[in-house]
Amino acid sequence: MITSVTATPERMERYHLSAPIADATMAILKRAGEEGISSPEDIAGKVAAAQAGSAQLEALEALAAELEGSGYSR
């Protein structure tokens, strides 16, 4: 049994996943009162974290590549 697995196309091919039982919405969290972050582009160049091997880490890496390709610096 595996718990807390976000269904991705790759995981759908590798594992026999059940129908989803929860929504795995992704969000960027910031400290209360932080005024410098109001959009995903605002995290370019900042330290960010996600659980190793997670779909959220893949999404964060994809966002970093997209931001870098758009001229935002890491």
The first and second tokens of residue 35, run together, are 């005024």
Give per-residue pLDDT as tens, 46-58: 888 888 888 888 8
**Sequence spans of domains, the chain:** 9-69
Confidence tier at 72 by pLDDT (50, 70, 90): confident
The phi, psi pair for 12, rounded to 5°, reads -65, -35
Neighbours of 3 (CB within 10 A): 4
The residue assigned the tokens 């410098």 is 36
What are the Cα distances from residue 16, in Å, to 3, 43, 69? Answer: 13, 35, 35
In tens, the pLDDT along 19-41 reads 877 777 788 888 999 998 988 88
Of 71 and 66, the one with more pLDDT: 66
Residue located via tokens 């997209």: 66
Identity of residue 50: A
- pLDDT value for 33: 94
